[in-house]
Structure 1
Amino acid sequence: MDDERPYRSHTKPACIPCRRRKSRCKFEPHTEACLMCRAHGTECTFPNGRAKATHKRPSTETLPRIPHPAVRTQPLNDPMVASPQLPSQIPNLDTPLSLEADDDNPHIVGPVVTGDSHVLADYLSNISGQGMREIRPVEPGSSSSPVIFTKVQKRPLGLTVNSNPAMKNLETIEKLVEPWGTHLIELYLKKVNPCLPLLDESSFRAQYMNSRHRISPALLANLYAQSLTHWRHDPVLSRERCPDSRFVWNLAIEASYSELHASAGISTVKSLLLDVGGRPTTSMTGNGVRLSSAISLCHSLGLNRNPLPWDIPQAEKHLRMKIWWSVLIHDRWSSLTYGTPPHIRRSQYDVPLPIPEYLSDWEYNRAANSVFIELMNLTEVLDHCLEHVYNIRLEGQGPARNLELELNRWVDSLVGDIRKVIIRGSNLDIPGASNLRLAYLATRLLLRRIDLDKERKAQDPSSEVMANRTMEARRTAEDIVVLVQELGETQLGDFWLPVAAFTFSSTVTFLIRCALETEQTAGLAESASLRMANDFLESLRSHQRTSGWDLADICLAQHSEIVEKLLNSPPPVMNSESNAEQHFMHDMAFVDDLFPSIWDTLQSI
């Protein structure tokens, strides 16, 4: 059947259900029912009786799947992957919730009116055979509330269908990365997706080779841009000239914004998350705006709801949860490093934490997926810490949660190689392990600084307790320094969250503060904390010079000059306490703005 049949043509009219819905009646090759009838589960009939078919949603038990080992061993450009027989083996992802229709989006109805909508949907179904699209729990004894979706228009009024700036930007990017576009996608699926699963690998591979025109241009543009980070670490690409990553990123960001304006949907969420997770980081404000847009879309599309009890294909349940997990990770870790409250509250979502059964690629990405699962569990611990940090109204509340106990419980739950990563700092060759260890140390340093801040604010602070708190926090900062010093080429080219760059910067800031507050009596040149900060900067400088490690850029730009000046400053004159303080403040005035608060609010680079 013709895929380009004109809408409501007299020669090829729309089916009867689409005419009732006043929706576009569009067919795909080798299908008996149109897209909208397949989405709504209605009978696709025509006035002249030329076609009649009933689309049935496949059950989760019979959903066909591609054997992962076979797909994993074949690159994207392997002719076997693009063979005509492959699409028949691929699960159909055009399900009612993830369907990226031309004109409409599924929009979740709020819980206040859901009950009313169910009554209306049942009534309309009884009298006309139609009704509203709704998802009801199917698991026996499920306590999940029924969920209902309505159709909302994606495209603003007056915007033509053919207006697609994102496609133009994608075409430019594909020209810049020729002939390595397919290789970059393969690189992303190998290096990044196992550590932070955002795509269903098998279905995306098949769609990329057989129906690339159906993939969001903004999504593809951001995939190419993010993969450029690993260009120099790939044995094939490292011998080739890498395109200008900043120019490519600007095109990808423009594509995301244009799609957000013109036809926002689930693919837009993915492209925004790829953008926020991209390196190098150049703007906290821009990342915050795009992340908040992605979170708003997630709530609109119902991605914050647990889909496991829903009557939808298993593959789609897992894909929806993967997107939400990625949103949570970016929201909470950027909140820690950017100094802004997280957008998502724990009470407003019920998506379960990841386990191996929810990760379709577990069998051949076992090590990387294990790291991801523990990163997600650690992110939940971090959320409790952030609730304390950003809680403005402390009066009238119950006893504070024991944050140290929460972190220790997580550590105690670890087993095998992941436990060695956290306890001993070994086994860092596991994909994503270095990023996980840094995330753990950053959380531990946050707890140490919370305790230190409490002691400072105490009515009668103990000097001994204060000294002990300071040493504990400095020892955690030293662990971060040692981690970075011991990174090899494998770890430098591994997966890292981009907010790691700000963790390095805040660690150096804390060490400088320790030097100024506790070690300036004999002169800052003799300060152990300041020497540690200088060694840290030297390691970052070495990684930047030898491997082009972009995560070192922000810390070096912010602190290199400051640490050098402090190390070269003369010791204070000790004639009297007042004179020493005046001499020091006169020479060190340039550090006045370095410590606005304990959270080290950083400026955008």
Structure 2
Amino acid sequence: MAAVITLQSSSTTGPTAPSAAAFQQSPASDHHHQLLRPRVQQQSQPQPSHAPQPGSISTPQSPASSIGTLSRVTASGRDAPSCDACVRRKSRCAINEMINKCYSCDFHRQDCTFTLSVTSRPGTADVPSKKRKLDDADAEEVESPKRPISDVPCPESQIGTLTWVPAARQSTTLPPASNKPDSSSRPALNNHHILTPAFWFQSTQHIGLTTELEPALLEFLPLDQNNEGCVASSRVRKFGDDGTFMRVVNTRSHADSPQTATLDAIESLVAPYGSTLVEKFFEHVHPSFPILMEDSFRQSYRARTGLTPLLLSAVYVLALKFVDVGPASQSVRRPDAGRLESTALKLLTESLPYASMSTVQAGLLLMQRSNLATAALNAQLVTAGFELGLHQDCSSWRMETWEKGLRKRLAWALYMQDKWSALVHGRPSHIVSSNWMVQDLVEQDFTDAFSGTSAHDDAPVGHGPLSFCHMVALTTILSDILDRFYTLQAIEEFRTAGNNRTRMILERAKPAQIRLKEWFGRLPTQLKMDSGGDIFETVNEDNSRNGALHLSYFATEITLHRCIVRSLSQDTADAYLSHICRSAAKTRLISAMDFVNRLRPMHLRSFWPAAARTNFALIGSFGVLLRVTAPTKEESEFYRLRLCEYRWTLSVSKKDAEFLEFALESLDSATNLDHYVPEKPGIDELMTSAAKPTINASRSGANAQLEDSMVELEQTGESGRGGTSSVISGLASPATSISDDSVQDASIPPL
């Protein structure tokens, strides 16, 4: 049993429960079609007593999904007069249909009466509400009681307490018979969730099992209709029957928040490109990294309410590279990128002590900037995720389906960031499998990630979830490799193995190789670099984003083979086994260099995560490793020429991808150390010494079995890739790749 304390400035609109069963098809096994975004489905619930008009029941079957359906509910609005307290405060009054209180009275924990309003405004409830377009709404209109309450409520995760839709979209449903309030009766907004200012103070604190607060006592805590109860000066909320999620209400006012900058201040840094930056973000970044809810963000941006300066600045920071501020715009002030980044980082630092979902979203976005993706910031974000309970399984929690999907997308994005940060910085990972219970992503988890007004269910929306899910699957393989080969415990085990070190490493490597082969086998056509093998095939918006996924694959393979190559020596492997291992590594290097050589400007100008610059550098580092460990002068010269070709490719490509400068500098630094490497013997000299009968005259039975297993593994891996790793991306460089006629001999390439 575990619990979480959530700090926020207002109470929630009611407890939630799953509104539909999750799709049972995992993205890992779905490679025959794109992930589909089910359309919004409306169910019905009874009108509260103060809502005079009954709604109709409507449960249309979604034609957009062939796997499952996602049921949604809409709550009727209330066109009633303001309550007494709101009349006195001269504030907008909107009723929480769940508890028959307005949000303001529920927030202040006071009775909600209508004596004054009924006396002064008889018949107001019979006046029909006005319909307004959301695009024309300002902050005051979004909070107007003249609009019905929305389709899906905004909980502490995306965080709105009040949203609206036109009355024409309302419907009602019958709630299940239960003593506990159901999530379906909470306010909702036709698939749009608006962030409100209260979000700034909504943070969570996970109550572990070893703290001074005994979780068993919380099981006996008296709860109100919102599943909330008092603990000392705080309020906690129970999210599951096993007591896994609790919250504490913090009533600090929004005026007391420690914001460094306001929305207007952030907007002024990029004016007049603000709206353009938002469009560019959802066009280029969001499809590959869907950790926001597009409709919610767009509405909050237009209304200027429920959106934190931190999240807005993070979106602007990532989108700046996609906005062309060229000679035609010389008369317009250029965005202040440096000041925007520093402001965003300062806002993030201030927000981390009481982090919310918005904090993690903004932090993850900022971490996609390679110059901001530090190991320290990664550790802080992971800690914030633990505070929010993102590492827990929320599938049985009382919350809306869309909120569960948001939490899972954020959790896996945080997982990927942590694992790739561990690789990039050479640091231990903060997330371990024994404390990670997040379920696999399924189609339903992306239902609210993208705009509901999109006319197409495929590109780029359908492509985005596929890419994200396969990247998650690849990252789990990387995590396994890091755990098996790069932890201090693993390194010590290899050291103590002595001459059996290579044997131990190869035995551990085989499962990882099989997983990588299976991962590639599940790649759908739209995630490959090209689908027909034609090198002149047109690059579109979708497959231009595939570069980062394939680069990550090569980086994962290289990470595995670096450990194998480092272990090779005359004491740990005979010449035959060493040759097989080095041949396999050579094939990977050539394929990776081929991949980079065939990247086109559209690939390079797309969105690349922060780890990409190091992944490009790892290809060069792997080539350097093979060169310095080459047994002959001829083999060393082969790798020197390949590294020169790779450097030329990077220098030509960096005009479309400035982050490649890092890979160039890394390669140059390694080259400058080359003169310290002892000179290698020539192949003739080596063959002469190898002809002596005293060296490895025979193989033991155990060694023969291991070597044969390695050969079998390599043949299996190559057959799965079409001969060489370069076929993965449809690339075949005549300068470096093995020809089709020699595919069967790929494991023994010439030196």
Structures share fold, TM-score greater than 0.5: yes
Q: Which residue of 1 is the match for residue 389 of structure 2?
A: 302
Paired with 2:375 and 2:252, the residues of 1 have a C-alpha distance of 24
Per-residue Cα deviation, 1:342-368 (whole angstroms, up to 9, x for no partner) = 111112122112222211147350022
SS class of match (1:166) = coil
Q: Higher relative contact order at CA 8 Å, sep ≥6: structure 1 or structure 2?
A: 2
Give, in angstroms, the shift of residue 249 of structure 1.
1.6
CA-atom RMSD in angstroms: 4.5
Give, in angstroms, the shift of residue 385 of structure 1.
0.7
2:205/2:388 contact within 8 Å kept: yes
State the AA in 1 paired with 2:520: V
Q: Which residue of 2 is the match for residue 147 of structure 1?
A: 244
Paired with 1:14 and 1:81, the residues of 2 have a C-alpha distance of 24
Q: Which residue of 2 is the match for residue 66 of structure 1?
A: none
Paired with 2:139 and 2:201, the residues of 1 have a C-alpha distance of 29
Q: Which residue of 1 is the match for residue 291 of structure 2?
A: 198
Paired with 2:228 and 2:117, the residues of 1 have a C-alpha distance of 19
1:375/1:436 contact within 8 Å kept: yes
Q: Which residue of 1 is the match for residue 313 of structure 2?
A: 221
Paired with 1:236 and 1:350, the residues of 2 have a C-alpha distance of 52
Q: Which of 613, 628, 634 is equivalent to 1:501?
A: 613
2:357/2:388 contact within 8 Å kept: yes
Q: Which residue of 2 is the match for residue 329 of structure 1?
A: 416
SS class of match (1:506) = helix
Alignment CA distance shift 1:302-1:162 (3 Å): closer
Does residue 342 of structure 1 match 2:424? no
Paired with 2:344 and 2:524, the residues of 1 have a C-alpha distance of 40
Q: Which residue of 2 is the match for residue 450 of structure 1?
A: 563
Q: Which of 481, 486, 505 is equivalent to 1:390?
A: 486
Q: Which of 532, 550, 553 is equivalent to 2:661?
A: 553
Paired with 1:283 and 1:174, the residues of 2 have a C-alpha distance of 21
State the AA in 2 paired with 1:543: S
Alignment CA distance shift 1:386-1:27 (3 Å): farther
Q: Which residue of 2 is the match for residue 165 of structure 1?
A: 260
Does residue 121 of structure 1 match 2:212? no
Q: Which residue of 2 is the match for residue 598 of structure 1?
A: none
Identify which range, 359-368 or 441-450, moves more after superposition.
359-368
1:45/1:51 contact within 8 Å kept: no
Q: Which of 526, 547, 567 is equivalent to 1:417?
A: 526
Q: Which residue of 1 is the match for residue 43 of structure 2?
A: none
Q: Which residue of 1 is the match for residue 45 of structure 2?
A: none
Does residue 405 of structure 1 match 2:514? yes
Structure-to-structure mapping, 1:268-279, within 5 angstroms: 268-278=359-369
Give, in angstroms, the shift of residue 283 of structure 1.
5.7
Does residue 463 of structure 1 match 2:605? no
Q: Which residue of 1 is the match for residue 42 of structure 2?
A: none
Q: Which of 592, 608, 614 is equivalent to 1:480?
A: 592
Paired with 2:388 and 2:138, the residues of 1 have a C-alpha distance of 32
Structure-to-structure mapping, 1:236-255, within 5 angstroms: 243-255=335-347
1:455/1:466 contact within 8 Å kept: yes
Does residue 95 of structure 1 match 2:155? yes
Paired with 2:117 and 2:217, the residues of 1 have a C-alpha distance of 32
Q: Which residue of 1 is the match for residue 67 of structure 2?
A: none
Paired with 2:478 and 2:579, the residues of 1 have a C-alpha distance of 26
Give, in angstroms, the shift of residue 31 of structure 1.
3.9
Paired with 1:422 and 1:390, the residues of 2 have a C-alpha distance of 35
1:353/1:377 contact within 8 Å kept: no
Q: Which residue of 1 is the match for residue 129 of structure 2?
A: none
2:84/2:114 contact within 8 Å kept: no
Q: Which of 463, 467, 478 is equivalent to 1:371?
A: 467
1:222/1:271 contact within 8 Å kept: yes
Q: Which residue of 2 is the match for residue 541 of structure 1?
A: 651
2:390/2:411 contact within 8 Å kept: yes
Unaligned stretches of 5+ residues in structure 2: 1-8, 10-82, 119-132, 160-197, 451-456, 498-503, 686-751
1:176/1:243 contact within 8 Å kept: yes
Paired with 2:576 and 2:247, the residues of 1 have a C-alpha distance of 62
Give, in angstroms, the shift of residue 13 of structure 1.
9.7
Per-residue Cα deviation, 1:499-531 (whole angstroms, up to 9, x for no partner) = 11111212212212322332762596xx12122
Give, in angstroms, the shift of residue 459 of structure 1.
4.3
Q: Which of 343, 348, 355 is equivalent to 1:264?
A: 355
Give, in angstroms, the shift of residue 443 of structure 1.
0.9
Alignment CA distance shift 1:102-1:495 (3 Å): closer
1:522/1:571 contact within 8 Å kept: no
Q: Which of 188, 192, 203 is equivalent to 2:281?
A: 188
Paired with 2:528 and 2:642, the residues of 1 have a C-alpha distance of 27
Alignment CA distance shift 1:439-1:162 (3 Å): closer
Q: Which residue of 1 is the match for residue 552 of structure 2?
A: 439
Paired with 1:509 and 1:111, the residues of 2 have a C-alpha distance of 44
SS class of match (1:106) = strand
Give, in angstroms, the shift of residue 197 of structure 1.
0.8
Alignment CA distance shift 1:523-1:496 (3 Å): closer
SS class of match (2:267) = helix
Sequence identity of aligned pairs in percent? 19
SS class of match (1:358) = helix
Alignment CA distance shift 1:248-1:50 (3 Å): same
Identify which range, 404-413 or 221-230, moves more after superposition.
404-413
Give, in angstroms, the shift of residue 273 of structure 1.
1.0
Paired with 2:299 and 2:206, the residues of 1 have a C-alpha distance of 29
Q: Which residue of 2 is the match for residue 20 of structure 1?
A: none
Alignment CA distance shift 1:221-1:97 (3 Å): closer
SS class of match (2:248) = strand
SS class of match (1:108) = strand
Per-residue Cα deviation, 1:40-95 (whole angstroms, up to 9, x for no partner) = xx98615896699xxxxxxxxxxxxxxxxxxxxx9x9x659999699858545432
Per-residue Cα deviation, 1:123-180 (whole angstroms, up to 9, x for no partner) = x659x99555434448xxxxxx431313165989xx981542133xx54442232111
Identify which range, 355-364 or 106-115, moves more after superposition.
106-115
Per-residue Cα deviation, 1:418-459 (whole angstroms, up to 9, x for no partner) = 367699798864253111111111111122222223444x84
Give, in angstroms, the shift of residue 259 of structure 1.
2.6
Q: Which has the larger radius of gyration?
A: 2
SS class of match (1:214) = coil
Q: Which residue of 1 is the match for residue 130 of structure 2?
A: none
1:422/1:440 contact within 8 Å kept: no
SS class of match (1:257) = helix
Alignment CA distance shift 1:206-1:512 (3 Å): same
Q: Which residue of 1 is the match for residue 237 of structure 2?
A: 134
Aligned length: 508
SS class of match (1:107) = strand
TM-score scaled by length of structure 1: 0.72
Alignment CA distance shift 1:552-1:404 (3 Å): same
State the AA in 1 paired with 2:640: L
Give, in angstroms, the shift of residue 240 of structure 1.
7.7
2:318/2:365 contact within 8 Å kept: yes
More helix by share: 1
Alignment CA distance shift 1:191-1:283 (3 Å): closer
Paired with 2:117 and 2:221, the residues of 1 have a C-alpha distance of 27
1:105/1:152 contact within 8 Å kept: no
Structure-to-structure mapping, 1:491-530, within 5 angstroms: 491-518=603-630, 521=633, 527-530=637-640
Unaligned stretches of 5+ residues in structure 1: 5-11, 16-24, 53-73, 139-144, 578-605
SS class of match (2:489) = coil
2:364/2:413 contact within 8 Å kept: yes
Does residue 282 of structure 1 match 2:282? no
SS class of match (1:213) = coil
SS class of match (2:246) = strand
Give, in angstroms, the shift of residue 247 of structure 1.
3.6
